[in-house]
Amino acid sequence: MKYAVAFVLLAGASLLQTSALPVFTVLGVHPNLVLVLILSWAIVRGLHEAMVVVPMGALTLGLMDGQPLGVTLLAAMPIVLLTEIREARIVQGEFLLAVLLTILSTLLYETLFLLVLRLSGEAADWWRSFAYVAVPAAIVNVFLVPPIYGLLWLGSRDLRQASAL
């Protein structure tokens, strides 16, 4: 049931990201709703669910955004590895971790996207793209973390009750 809910949320977020969000630009970039959603899901729900939800979210976005199929999946895979930081308990408090990992994930996501585009023959100005796309995208995505993380945290009462037992 939780994966059916995840699929509906991710499909809706992908549809919203590819249809409505391109109209709204902040700092010259569009927010990556799906990236923040899958990262928040991974932080709140854990590594085992992240291994299912991250590919699910990347594929739903990849099918809707018109990019070469698989690029989004490849760019989102480091999120699963970054969730291992949650398990290590390096940072006290998962919300702060979600914010930090959103910044890091966005930078990795955009860099891997540029790398794949460059390898496929597209011209890429690395420094300009990093300065005008990746860094502003990381800043914009951080502002999406509180509402998305908060809603997922509130919806994960079952996990909090199980850990209290």
Domain ranges (residues) in the chain: 2-159
CATH number assigned to the domain with residue range 2-159, chosen from the 4 options 1.10.3470, 3.40.50, 1.10.1760, 1.10.10: 1.10.1760
Is residue 3 within 8 A of residue 52, CB to CB? The reply is: yes
Is residue 16 within 8 A of residue 33, CB to CB? The reply is: yes
Q: Is the pLDDT of residue 163 over 70?
A: no
Helix (H), strand (E) counts: the chain:
10, 0
pLDDT tens profile 127-148: 888 889 899 999 999 999 999 9
* 59's tokens: 């594929």
- Ranking 88-92, 110-114, 137-141 by mean pLDDT, the lowest is 88-92
As a whole number of angstroms, the distance between CA 26 and CA 11 comes to 23
Whether this prediction's pTM lies above 0.95 is answered by: no
pLDDT tens profile 33-87: 999 999 999 888 888 888 899 999 989 988 888 777 788 888 888 888 877 777 6
With a CB cutoff of 8 Å and minimum separation 6, the contacts of 103 are: 138, 141, 142
